Amino acid sequence: MKKAQTEVMGMVVVVILIAVGLLFFIAFVVLRPQSELEQRVTTSVVASSTLNSLQYTTTTCRGLNIQDLLLDCATRGAIVCDNEHSCSYVNRTIAYILDKTLTVQDRSFVFEADVDGESLPVGINSGCRGERENAYQPLRTTYGSLLTLYLEVCR
């Protein structure tokens, strides 16, 4: 009887050892966070550098850049290119550029612009999901109002 009891005690110890070992395995291997250092750094750089580069990009509309077209969209809306007013032209151009630079990296994004808090008819939303990084750029219009550009890039 005593021998049997000792055997059972031994088995219990073995089961406990297995359980502890499995716990360590799950904690240190299965649940270990993967290195996302490169993703985090490049996401934070991508949003700000994209917005910065985007606004200075020269378009095929009379050689004006994106910033000029957005400012026109926010004020007079007088510029017309390819039978399109500045707002729809710049919206289409921004969508194309962001698709070529961000979607190709498997990143989703949201681009918006507003003047003194009122949304402009310029905006693209590719369905942001995952970790987000924001960049914004304020611009002063000739009328004194504040045009703000927002770009949110997601992983």
Q: Which residues bind another protein (CB under 8 A)?
A: 6-7, 10-11, 13-14, 17-18, 21, 24-25, 28-29, 32, 34-35, 37-38, 41-42, 45-46, 49-50, 52-54, 56-60, 63, 65, 93, 96-97, 100-102, 104-105
Q: Would the CA dihedral through 70, 61, 111, 45 be positive or negative?
A: negative
Residue owning tokens 């045009």:
147
Rounded Cα gap, residues 91 and 54, in angstroms? 12
For the bound state, the minimum distance from the C-beta of residue 94 to another protein, rounded and expressed in Å, comes to: 10
DSSP 22-46: HHHHIIIIITPPPP-HHHHHHHHHH
Comparing CB distances to another protein, the nearer of 21 and 119 is 21
- 4 or 78: CB nearest another protein: 4
Query: Which residue from 130, 113, 135 is spatially nearest to 122, judged by alpha carbons?
Result: 113
Q: Toward another protein, which CB reaches closer, 9 or 119? A: 9
Minimum distance from residue 66 beta carbon to another protein (Å): 9
Q: How far is the CB of 96 from another protein (least distance, A)?
A: 7
Q: Report the residue number, 53 or 119, with the smaller CB distance to another protein.
A: 53
The least distance separating another protein from the CB of residue 111, rounded to whole angstroms, comes to 13
CA distance 27 to 55: 47
- Within 57-151, residue ranges assigned H as helices are 66-74, 86-101
CB of 152 to another protein, least distance (A): 15
